[in-house]
């Protein structure tokens, strides 16, 4: 059975090991407020804006992944920042992964919109956007810093710098809102 040129067992093990980074972050956050997970967090300005911005960003991505991945690659290639291209003969796995990506972005966008439109949410619900940004930042580490070890082409995914500029500030707002005990009661975040 030929697994192809990109199958390197050590790389797969290292790739799976990077999943421990967001898992450790979420476990730490969960543990830090374990007895306060059902406490109400008031939906303040910063938190509401962050969730709305996150939802807006993610609401575009299902259309991109399911209907325009090839076009986006061609456009971004003109600027020299394309993360790659659709394979010449994509198979059902590629198609399935594109649809699953669209699905997950859609679900997250709906959750963020619903949360942003409430006056308060249980603290545990903030673990949803926190999990997303933790995993996203892990991916950014792999795509932009450790790419020499993980990228099939050996190059950084420069386009993802734009993603970091969106996700990192959101992560800071979510962490502050999740951990804060006093400002949230007043709707500070």
Counting Cβ atoms within 10 Å, is residue 119 exposed (0-12), middle (13-18) or buried (19+)? exposed
Mean pLDDT of 140-168: 89
Per the document, the length of the chain is: 189
According to the 3-state scheme, what is the secondary structure of 138-151? Answer: HHHHHHHCCHHHHC
Task: Give pLDDT tens digits for 8-42.
Answer: 666 778 888 999 999 999 999 999 999 999 999 99
Task: Give pLDDT tens digits for 66-125.
Answer: 887 777 777 777 777 666 777 788 788 888 888 899 999 999 999 999 999 999 999 999
What pTM did the predictor assign?
Answer: 0.86
Q: Which residues contact 69 (CB under 8 A, 6 or more apart)?
A: 86, 98
Question: Taking the domains of the chain in order of start, what are their residue ranges?
Answer: 40-184
CB 137 within 8 A of CB 170: no
Residue 6 above 90 pLDDT?
no
Give which of 131, 96, 101, 117 is closest to 25, Cα–Cα.
131
């Amino acid at each position: 059975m030929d697994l192809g040129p990109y199958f390197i067992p050590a790389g797969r093990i290292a790739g799976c090991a990077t999943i421990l980074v967001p898992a450790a972050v979420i476990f730490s956050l969960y543990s830090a407020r374990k007895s306060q997970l059902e406490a109400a967090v008031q939906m303040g300005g910063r938190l509401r804006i962050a969730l709305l911005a996150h939802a807006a960003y993610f609401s575009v991505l299902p259309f991109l992944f399911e209907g325009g991945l090839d076009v986006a690659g061609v456009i971004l290639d003109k600027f020299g920042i394309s993360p790659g291209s659709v394979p010449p003969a994509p198979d059902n796995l590629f198609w399935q992964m594109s649809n699953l990506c669209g699905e997950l972005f859609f679900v997250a966008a709906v959750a963020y919109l619903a949360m942003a439109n409430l006056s308060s949410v249980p603290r545990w619900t903030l673990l949803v956007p926190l999990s997303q940004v933790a995993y996203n930042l892990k991916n950014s580490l792999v795509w932009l810093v450790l790419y020499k070890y993980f990228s099939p082409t050996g190059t950084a995914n420069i386009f993802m710098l734009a993603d970091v500029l969106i996700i990192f500030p959101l992560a800071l707002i979510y962490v502050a809102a999740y951990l804060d005990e006093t400002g949230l009661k007043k709707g500070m975040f």
